[in-house]
């Protein structure tokens, strides 16, 4: 799924044409999954509203919106209104394959979605609105944008909040951990938060309640550059290990954002360029080291054994959970899929076998540390939900056919013969006139 750099690029694309602009027209399309309100109400709320600014936290984009004033309000507030005051907030999450498209920009969608191209007519012109569109906005400057989501795993929310402080106290922002760009904790805070955990470090990095915006490929890249195996337990990491992970979280996100999330501009030695081929032939790093794949924290993880040694004690259990991780059979199974679906699993809410925690800029330092040690286990929460569901009905098994055992009769003696239990065998007089 799109991770922090891809979401930041999308936010930048939206902000370049929409920040400070009034919405003069809107078209919305029914989808009870992605909207948190009816799409007709969504269109009514946004028509005539002004998008004050586009922002991002973790994998969420959010925009403070100023409602369209009535004619009386416009006359009364002329020259006195606060252009930065919000009436409500628009929240957008891209899910697995969501994207914001700008009319006239026919570049292929980001994040390896080669099949999700803009619709082009036979003459090469762009079809608008594009496929899988949930809404289109037309702004006063003439710009047109569309939110598209083929798999319908994105989110389009309207939240009632007047200020940044208020919206940060509401879900989803209040449930997220630190953002590596906006509020990366200090090395001491980071070390204190990680060293007390007993879950694999990869699982903790994927936990959005701990670090908002880090996804599968970023976590693998950070651990590869830090020379840490993804199954390594947090409490076994040294301070040197933790400082290296902290530094690489900052560096990987910064480099990817500066490259505008364009993978062709990522450093050539990054694991990113070669980690996607696990379903085909053996993959190697740029210097020829083998890349292996295991399951850690429920996710497929790429690692380089020559650089990231496998843990020697109990931590190796996370590696043994891999289904066909290094086997030829596993590679054959994955080769059937052109797209690695596992790479597009939503990490929101996915996490460790330890308690959820967060480092956030929304509170002071003491509050952030307290939030680190608070929460319930993601695995335990999933078990509680599963236990609350009614049992799945089992399909009825087909009744077994009863076979009748046939007793063998002895050979006939004379014309009548001997039947079962020594009694004369009955003969049909109609068929045998000699018996009449």
Quick: pLDDT tens for 402-427.
655 555 544 444 444 555 555 555 65
Percent of the chain with pLDDT over 70: 63
Structure tokens at 357: 């925690």
Contact 379, 203 (CB under 8 A): no
Residues 353 and 218 in one domain: yes
| Per-residue exposure over 95-105, b if at least 16 CB sit within 10 Å of its own CB, e if not | bbbbbbbbbee
Is residue 95 situated within a structural domain?
yes
Select from 1, 2, 4 the least CA-distant residue to 254.
4
- Burial bucket for residue 127 (CB in 10 Å: 0-12, 13-18, 19+): exposed
Is residue 93 situated within a structural domain?
yes
Average pLDDT over residues 358-377: 43
| CA separation, residue 170 to residues 62, 167, 213, 372 (Å) | 13, 5, 18, 18
Asked if pLDDT for residue 22 goes beyond 90, the answer is yes
Better-predicted residue by pLDDT, 1 or 44: 44
Is residue 315 situated within a structural domain?
yes
- Say what the pLDDT of residue 283 is: 86
Residues 112 and 244 in one domain: no
Is residue 399 situated within a structural domain?
no
Terminus-to-terminus CA distance in the chain, angstroms? Answer: 91
Residues 42 and 157 in one domain: yes
Asked if pLDDT for residue 345 goes beyond 80, the answer is no
Residues 226 and 165 in one domain: no
Report the C-alpha gap between 10 and 2 in whole angstroms.
10
Which residues have a Cβ under 8 Å from the Cβ of 224 and sit 6 or more positions away?
Answer: 271, 302, 303, 304, 307, 308
What does the pLDDT look like over 144-200, one tens digit per residue? 999 999 999 999 999 999 999 999 999 999 999 999 999 999 999 999 999 999 999
- Say what the pLDDT of residue 274 is: 86
Tell me which residue range forms the domain holding 19: 4-175
Contact 300, 236 (CB under 8 A): no
| CATH number of the structural domain spanning residue 59 | 3.20.190.10
Domain count, the chain: 2
Asked if pLDDT for residue 323 goes beyond 50, the answer is no
- Say what the pLDDT of residue 43 is: 98
Report the C-alpha gap between 56 and 432 in whole angstroms.
99
Better-predicted residue by pLDDT, 32 or 83: 32
Is residue 397 situated within a structural domain?
no
Residues 253 and 305 in one domain: yes
- Say what the pLDDT of residue 276 is: 77
What does the pLDDT look like over 98-120, one tens digit per residue? 999 999 765 544 444 454 455 66
Residues 128 and 224 in one domain: no
- Say what the pLDDT of residue 151 is: 94
Residues 195 and 85 in one domain: no
Average pLDDT over residues 371-392: 56
Asked if pLDDT for residue 19 goes beyond 60, the answer is yes
386 phi and psi angles, rounded to 5 deg:
-65, -40
What does the pLDDT look like over 55-87, one tens digit per residue? 999 999 999 999 998 765 554 554 444 567 899
- Say what the pLDDT of residue 38 is: 97
Which residue, of 175, 210, 228, is where some domain finishes?
Answer: 175
Better-predicted residue by pLDDT, 26 or 358: 26
User: For the chain, what is the radius of gyration of the CA atoms?
Assistant: 32
What does the pLDDT look like over 269-314, one tens digit per residue? 999 998 876 555 678 999 999 999 999 988 899 999 999 998 875 4
Residues 236 and 281 in one domain: yes
Confidence of residue 127 (pLDDT cuts 50, 70, 90): confident
Select from 341, 371, 342, 373 the least CA-distant residue to 359.
371
Structure tokens at 335: 């080769």
Average pLDDT over residues 355-382: 44
Confidence of residue 362 (pLDDT cuts 50, 70, 90): very low
- Say what the pLDDT of residue 338 is: 36
| CATH number of the structural domain spanning residue 289 | 1.10.8.50
Each as own residue / partner, the long-range contacts of residues 411-417 (CB below 8 Å, 24 or more positions apart, any chain) are none
Provide the 3-class DSSP secondary structure of residue 112: coil
Residues 114 and 251 in one domain: no
Is residue 335 situated within a structural domain?
yes
Report cis status (omega within 30 of 0) of the bond before 125. no
Report the C-alpha gap between 372 and 360 in whole angstroms.
9
Average pLDDT over residues 26-46: 97
Structure tokens at 303: 């690692």
Report the C-alpha gap between 293 and 65 in whole angstroms.
44
- Say what the pLDDT of residue 20 is: 97
| CA separation, residue 139 to residues 10, 49, 127, 278, 285 (Å) | 17, 10, 19, 44, 46
Is residue 267 situated within a structural domain?
yes
For 1-5, 121-125, 151-155, which range has the lowest pLDDT when averaged over its residues?
A: 121-125
Chain position carrying tokens 């990869």: 202
Asked if pLDDT for residue 320 goes beyond 50, the answer is no
Is residue 411 situated within a structural domain?
no
Chain position carrying tokens 């380089």: 304
Which residues have a Cβ under 8 Å from the Cβ of 385 and sit 6 or more positions away?
Answer: none
| Mean pLDDT of the chain, nearest integer | 79
- Say what the pLDDT of residue 70 is: 75
Confidence of residue 364 (pLDDT cuts 50, 70, 90): very low
Contact 59, 3 (CB under 8 A): yes
- Say what the pLDDT of residue 245 is: 98
Structure tokens at 53: 């600014």
Which residue, of 175, 209, 239, is where some domain finishes?
Answer: 175
Residues 205 and 336 in one domain: yes
- Burial bucket for residue 80 (CB in 10 Å: 0-12, 13-18, 19+): exposed
Report the C-alpha gap between 339 and 365 in whole angstroms.
42
- Say what the pLDDT of residue 155 is: 98
- Say what the pLDDT of residue 214 is: 97
Question: What's the predicted TM-score (pTM) here?
Answer: 0.72
Residues 219 and 130 in one domain: no
Confidence of residue 252 (pLDDT cuts 50, 70, 90): very high
- Say what the pLDDT of residue 104 is: 79
Residues 99 and 221 in one domain: no
Which residue, of 128, 153, 175, is where some domain finishes?
Answer: 175
Better-predicted residue by pLDDT, 20 or 328: 20
Asked if pLDDT for residue 94 goes beyond 60, the answer is yes
């Amino acid at each position: 799924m799109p991770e922090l750099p891809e979401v930041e690029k999308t936010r930048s694309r939206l902000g370049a044409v929409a920040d400070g602009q009034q919405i003069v027209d809107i078209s919305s399309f029914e989808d009870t999954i992605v909207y948190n309100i009816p799409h007709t109400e969504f269109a009514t709320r946004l028509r005539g509203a002004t998008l004050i600014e586009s922002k991002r936290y973790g994998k969420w984009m959010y925009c403070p919106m100023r409602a369209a004033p009535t004619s009386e309000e416009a006359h009364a507030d002329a020259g006195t209104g606060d252009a930065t005051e919000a009436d409500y907030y628009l929240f957008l999450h891209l899910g697995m394959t969501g994207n914001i498209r700008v009319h006239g920009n026919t570049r292929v969608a980001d994040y390896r979605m080669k099949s999700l191209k803009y619709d082009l007519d036979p003459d090469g012109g762009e079809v608008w609105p594009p496929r899988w569109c949930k809404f289109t906005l037309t702004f006063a400057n003439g710009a047109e944008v569309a939110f598209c989501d083929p798999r319908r795993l994105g989110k389009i929310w309207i939240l009632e909040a007047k200020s940044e402080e208020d919206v940060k106290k509401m879900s989803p922002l209040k449930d997220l951990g630190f953002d590596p760009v906006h509020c990366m904790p200090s090395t001491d805070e980071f070390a204190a938060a990680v060293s007390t955990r007993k879950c694999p470090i990869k699982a903790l990095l994927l936990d959005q309640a701990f670090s908002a915006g880090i996804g599968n490929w970023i976590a693998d890249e950070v651990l590869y550059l830090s020379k840490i195996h993804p199954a390594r337990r947090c409490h076994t990491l040294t301070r040197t290990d933790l400082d290296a992970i902290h530094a690489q979280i900052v560096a990987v996100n910064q480099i990817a954002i500066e490259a505008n999330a364009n993978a062709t501009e990522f450093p050539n030695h990054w694991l990113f360029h070669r980690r996607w081929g696990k379903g085909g032939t053996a993959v190697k790093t740029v210097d020829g080291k083998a890349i292996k794949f295991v399951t850690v924290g429920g996710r497929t993880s790429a690692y380089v054994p020559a650089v990231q040694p496998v843990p020697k004690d109990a931590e190796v259990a996370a590696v043994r959970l891999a289904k066909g991780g290094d086997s030829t059979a596993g590679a054959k199974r994955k080769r059937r899929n052109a797209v690695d679906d596992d790479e597009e699993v939503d990490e929101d809410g996915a996490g460790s076998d330890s308690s959820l925690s967060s480092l956030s800029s929304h509170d002071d330092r003491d509050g952030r540390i307290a939030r680190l040690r608070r929460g319930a286990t993601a695995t335990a929460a999933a078990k509680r939900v599963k236990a609350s569901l009614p049992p799945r009905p089992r399909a009825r098994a087909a009744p077994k056919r009863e076979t009748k055992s046939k007793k063998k009769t002895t050979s006939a003696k004379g014309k009548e013969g001997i039947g079962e239990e020594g009694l004369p065998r009955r003969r049909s007089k109609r068929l045998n006139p000699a018996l009449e």
